[in-house]
Amino acid sequence: MNIDARVAITTLLKGVFYKSENEKAWAELSENSFAVIKDYFEVIGLEVSLDETDGYAYLKSIEYEDEKDAPPKLVQKRELTYKVSLLCVLLRKEIVEFDMQSENTRVIIEKEDIQKELLLYLPQNFNEVKVYKEIDATIKKVEELGFLKKLTNQENAYEIKRSLKSFVDASWLKDFDEKLQAYKENGKWS
């Protein structure tokens, strides 16, 4: 296995791998060594999900029909809070709207626009400072998940990472709608 394949494997183990981060290793992953890398991860119950159109790849657990045959899960599913889930949905919507209006691939959003969008869905609170701190914490969490990247050349701007499209898919949105309905009925997010 060559060095570029090893770099691709290591990068996948760290999280989402974007073509723009290392084009040489991306070429190795997507063109030359995909089968070898795929087989490498299958041994430990992971599969490589590759989106060549948007230029990203990530690892996810293989879904086994019989869980008795499955190795222990390496990629843990995390339950997200209402605000984090809501922000992910709103950012996914931004990607869809951007794709309909622009030929560019990078979706850039201002922090102020994120705040305005979230405020529409949050309960009215008289403590404005507290609300904005909560919104900042939500943005930070989505950043930690890898779906937002703060731009270095612009103080209050973020790039929405396209890997969000794989995370917030139709089944995820259906689950979100069910949780939202339950939240409306009994005031608890689960």
List b or e across 21-39, with b for residues whose CB sees 16 or more CB atoms inside 10 angstroms.
Answer: ebeebbebbbeebbeebee
Q: What is the pLDDT confidence band of residue 174, given thresholds at 50, 70 and 90? A: confident
Dihedral over Cα of 125, 127, 131, 132: its sign = positive
CATH code matching the domain that covers 82-186, chosen among 3.30.750.200, 3.90.1720.10, 1.10.10.2260, 2.60.40.10? 1.10.10.2260
For the stretch 69-111, pLDDT in tens is 777 777 677 778 888 988 998 999 888 889 888 878 889 999 9
Any idea what the Cα angle at residue 161 is, between residues 129 and 61, rounded to 5°?
110
For the stretch 23-38, pLDDT in tens is 888 888 888 889 999 9
Q: Model-level pTM greater than 0.85?
A: no
Q: Which amino acid is at 175?
A: D
pLDDT score of 184 more than 70: no
Q: Where are the domains of the chain?
A: 3-69, 82-186
> According to DSSP H, which parts of the chain are helical?
3-14, 23-27, 34-42, 82-101, 111-119, 128-145, 164-167, 170-186
> Of 54, 76, 60, 20, nearest to 165 (Cα)?
54
